[in-house]
């Protein structure tokens, strides 16, 4: 089951205090990015955050789950209504994640 568009927009808006948030459709659901760095997934109307040691102490509940069958565990974030909380989680997560690798230039 794919996520509803209104839920995807809601999560992006709730995280917007962390930077420029963009959700991109991937494999039937969504990857969510802050300032060009992927930090989580939105699958089946649920929000999952990449696990980092920087975000772990900020979590109100540490709940690790795979966002889809066969995936590695992510932090499952049930409390999506607190905008400041989500923005802080996203900021700390992104600061701990490596920079994205530059995409190779296409050859003509």
Q: Is 22 exposed, middle or buried (0-12, 13-18, 19+ CB in 10 A)?
A: middle
Rounded Cα distance, 23 and 102, in Å: 19
Whether the pTM exceeds 0.75: the reply is yes
Confidence of residue 27 (pLDDT cuts 50, 70, 90): confident
Span 59-100, pLDDT tens digits:
999 999 999 999 999 999 999 999 999 999 999 999 999 887
Confidence of residue 105 (pLDDT cuts 50, 70, 90): confident
| pLDDT mean across residues, the chain | 93
């Amino acid at each position: 089951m794919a996520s509803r568009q209104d839920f995807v927009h809601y999560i992006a808006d709730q995280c917007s205090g962390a930077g420029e948030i963009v959700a991109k459709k991937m494999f039937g659901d969504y990857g969510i990015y802050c300032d060009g760095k992927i930090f989580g997934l939105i699958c089946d109307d649920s929000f999952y955050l990449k696990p980092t040691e920087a975000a772990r102490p900020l979590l109100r509940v540490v709940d690790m789950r795979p966002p889809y069958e066969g995936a590695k565990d992510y932090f499952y974030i049930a409390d999506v209504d607190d905008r400041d909380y989500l923005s802080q989680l996203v900021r700390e997560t992104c600061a701990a994640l490596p920079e994205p690798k530059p995409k190779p230039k296409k050859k003509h």
